[in-house]
Amino acid sequence: MTLKGLKQFVKKEDRRLKRNFPNLANREKMVLARTVKLSEEVGELAAEVLAYHNWQRPSKLINRQEPNLAHEFADVIITTMLIAEELGVDIELALIDKIKKIDKRYQDEK
């Protein structure tokens, strides 16, 4: 999948979520809800990383459903992009700009 394809999916998901959660029609509420959701998704990713390394309590590992490490990475990325979409941030431009800054940081170290 390309970044363009991912952005198209995020726009479609944005429309579906707005249709399914009319109680979040207020933009500020939507941004807040998605930011809380991102926190939830980061927590789920953290739990998968702990499980991947067997660093969870055995009781948690026993009740664990099928491993979902890749899906949790995807959830974090999609939820992040949904927040960016709601705030009008072009994530592609943001990534390009950030990558330039990171590369420059290392170039300056030489």
CA 97/CA 107 separation, integer angstroms: 15
| Angle subtended at Cα 53 by Cα 44 and Cα 95, rounded to the nearest 5 degrees | 55
Separation in Å, CA 29 to CA 34, 78, 89: 8, 18, 17
Tokens of 57: 């309590």
**Footprint on residues 18-77 left by Mg ion (CB under 5 A):** 41, 44, 75
| 13 binding Mg ion? (CB under 5 A) | no
Q: Residue 71 or 100: which CB sits closer to Mg ion?
A: 71
Number of chain residues interacting with Mg ion (CB under 5 A): 3
Smallest gap from residue 60 Cβ to Mg ion (A): 16
**Cβ within 8 Å of residue 98, ≥6 positions away:** none
Q: Residue 14 or 44: which CB sits closer to Mg ion?
A: 44
Smallest gap from residue 100 Cβ to Mg ion (A): 31
Instruction: Give contact residues for Mg ion (rule: CB under 5 A).
Output: 41, 44, 75
